[in-house]
Structure 1
Amino acid sequence: MKILLPLDNSKLIVLNNSMQILDMLNLHTQPRSLKSSISICLELRTQLLQKAIKVRQKDKTFILKLPYYKADALWQFLKEFEIYFPDDFGSYETNAILIMKNELHKQLL
């Protein structure tokens, strides 16, 4: 089962910026319930960075097709680690994250 997440270049940049915290997280200090989600998100971050390079000059909407387990891990990450997102996130970034969380939650139910 694939989860479809509509994105554009701006939302992809916001998502990649929010996932920067993964570079600094120590996996061993995280609760056991989040370790698998974090490791899946580390893999997903690499894919999203590659996607950002491919679409950086294009300004159109695209659909990111995620397997269920990756979509669930991303939703868990966006929900649990929101407090660690960069302080310079403005209203656009906050709304973009909220839209992505809602879209993922709606499809994961």
Structure 2
Amino acid sequence: MSLTVERTATWQTTCEVDDLEHGWGEVALIGAQQVALVRVADDEVYAVDHHDPHTGAPVMARGIVGSRGERPTIASPLHKQVYDLGTGECFTDASLALRTYRTRVVGGMIEVEIDG
């Protein structure tokens, strides 16, 4: 007999989209998870783990926001590894990846999808 475990996800409201400046990160505490929110355009917000994948330090919201072509990025403020904000792929070290979360803006509020 096999047991199937169903995972559920919930959308958590974090803050107003206008609370974030373009090109800067801020940290949101969602349950016990520290999530870095990065606004790159009026209604384009990304959410990634606040912990640096290389060191484990909670610093990603202070990372350097930029782009590689059309892909928005964030660079760790510690060792400058560059991550794709949408996928978490590390451009500078293939052995690293940054956890990403889906986001949406509803009624001017940023919501982040978190595993339940």
Instruction: State TM-score, norm by structure 1.
Output: 0.26
Of structures 1 and 2, the one scoring higher in RCO (CA 8 A, sep 6+) is: 1
Which structure has more helix as a fraction of its residues?
Answer: 1
Which structure has more strand as a fraction of its residues?
Answer: 2
Instruction: State TM-score, norm by structure 2.
Output: 0.25
